[in-house]
């Protein structure tokens, strides 16, 4: 009987130790998200002055304290702005640099964020908060600050039709160039394929009325009846800058982005599925209806591995450096997908000069 009791006590002790060990392990993997950071703003009535849209000076600065997760894990801080009453269903989001606890916005930068919320051009209130994301299901939110703002929508477009889209006007291939501040300078990225570099600039995407062509020089523009076609001096993804104040045009090779991996078409890590730039000055690249199989993929720049983007701990955010960023994005369900890829940058920056290593992406199954 003594032997049986001794064995019973020994087994019970082991069981208790195992339960204690499990409890400690559980504590190690449970994050406490109840203590979010505290958000403050340098002003609650920032003035968006049209005369200062070209000024890079910050007109408002948001600062916050870091959240207090129970674990020392990497988190993504996202500044969110939304209209009052939307209940954060469709906020405009700005992903903050790693470890940053403040962010300033210039007149143009704040105006661009407000226009993403589709606000009217009258005095209105918006809510601002910081989302601390550890994963898609683990988030904490700061206090909400209310701002009174009057956005200015000065965005204007001109259009580009030419050999690269078979001169179809109107047509789905007609592209656009955008002026974010309506200052007469328009920029965008056009993919000029070899041998198809001739084009015209249109004021209306539906017809050639009042179109603009070349004055016979490499950089001059004119709407005169004696004009000829404009011819790009660069092929491939080309940053086009049109200045209607001086009637000039400039071309420069632009960085471009693609999806590559075992999941996209070609199922090889050297076969790129190229994306198209959206000429709205937000740095967004898209591609739709891509047939994907179960596997892995990454985004990369200029069909090379100098800059490529893999996953972070937060779905929807990609990074080009670091141990996590060197991994691959997993695709677990085959099907046709729509992809977006957005390099983090201030809205006024030309696409060719973006410097941030972080990016946001979406992969939506049709």
Query: pLDDT of 130-180, one tens digit each?
Result: 988 775 556 788 999 999 999 988 788 999 999 999 999 988 889 999 987
Backbone angles phi, psi at 149, to 5 degrees: -140, 160
- Of the listed ranges 39-43, 181-185, 250-254, the least confidently predicted one is 181-185
Taking the chain, what is the end-to-end CA distance rounded to the nearest angstrom?
A: 69
Q: Which helix (H) or strand (E) holds 66?
A: none
Report the 3 state secondary structure along 150-167: CCCCCCEEEEEEEHHHCC
What pLDDT sits at residue 34? 53
Q: Region of 161 please: left (phi>0), alpha (psi -120 to 50) or beta.
A: beta
pLDDT above 90: residue 181 = no
What pLDDT sits at residue 282? 79
pLDDT above 80: residue 353 = no
pLDDT above 60: residue 24 = no
pLDDT above 70: residue 197 = yes
92: β partners: 81
Mean pLDDT within 324-334: 87
Task: Give percent of the chain above pLDDT 90.
Answer: 53
Reference 343, options 264, 255, 271; nearest CA is 255
Q: Each residue of 137-158: b (16+ CB within 10 Å) or e? A: eebbbbeebebebbbbebeeeb
Query: pLDDT of 60-96, one tens digit each?
Result: 999 988 777 544 556 788 899 999 988 898 898 888 8
Give this prediction's pTM: 0.65
Best mean pLDDT range from 91-100, 257-266, 318-327: 257-266
Which one is predicted more confidently, 5 or 53?
Answer: 53
What pLDDT sits at residue 4? 43
Mean pLDDT within 200-218: 94
Domains contained in the chain, CATH given: 39-149 (2.60.40), 156-253 (2.60.40.3620), 257-365 (2.60.40)
- Of the listed ranges 17-31, 212-226, 273-287, the least confidently predicted one is 17-31
Mean pLDDT within 296-314: 88
Bridge pairing between strands 268-274 and 145-149: unpaired
Percent of residues in the chain assigned helix, strand, coil, to nearest 5 = 15, 40, 45
């Amino acid at each position: 009987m003594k032997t049986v009791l001794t064995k019973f006590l020994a087994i019970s002790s082991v069981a208790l130790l195992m339960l204690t060990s499990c409890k400690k392990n559980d504590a190690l993997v449970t994050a406490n998200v109840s203590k979010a950071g505290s958000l403050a703003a340098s002003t609650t009535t920032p003035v968006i002055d049209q005369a200062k849209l070209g000024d890079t000076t910050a007109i408002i600065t948001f600062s916050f304290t870091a959240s207090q997760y129970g674990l020392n894990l990497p988190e993504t801080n996202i500044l969110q702005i939304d209209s009052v009453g939307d209940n954060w269903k469709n906020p405009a989001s700005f992903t903050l640099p790693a470890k940053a606890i403040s962010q300033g916005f210039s007149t143009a930068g704040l105006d661009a964020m407000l226009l993403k919320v589709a606000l009217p051009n009258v005095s209105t209130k918006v809510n601002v908060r910081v989302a601390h994301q550890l994963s898609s299901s683990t988030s904490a939110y700061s206090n909400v600050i209310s701002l009174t703002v009057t956005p200015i929508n000065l965005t204007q477009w001109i259009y580009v039709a030419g050999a690269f889209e078979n001169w179809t006007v109107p047509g789905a291939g007609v592209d656009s160039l955008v002026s974010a501040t309506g200052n007469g300078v328009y920029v965008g990225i056009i993919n000029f394929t070899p041998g198809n570099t001739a084009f015209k600039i249109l004021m209306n995407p539906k017809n050639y009325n009042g179109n603009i062509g070349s004055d016979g020089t490499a950089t001059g523009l004119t709407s005169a009846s004696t004009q000829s076609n404009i011819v790009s001096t660069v092929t491939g993804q080309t940053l086009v800058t049109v200045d209607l104040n001086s009637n000039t045009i400039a071309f420069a090779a632009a960085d471009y982005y693609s999806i590559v991996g075992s999941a996209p078409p070609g199922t090889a890590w050297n076969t790129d599925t190229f994306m198209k730039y959206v000429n709205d000055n937000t740095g967004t690249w898209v591609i739709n209806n891509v047939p994907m199989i179960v596997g892995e993929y990454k985004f990369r720049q200029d069909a090379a591995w100098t800059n490529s983007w893999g996953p972070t701990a937060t779905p929807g955010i990609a990074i080009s450096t670091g141990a996590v960023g060197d991994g691959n994005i997993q695709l677990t369900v085959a099907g046709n997908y729509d992809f977006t890829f957005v390099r983090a940058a201030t809205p006024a920056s030309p696409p060719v000069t973006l410097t941030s290593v972080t990016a946001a992406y979406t992969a939506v199954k049709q």
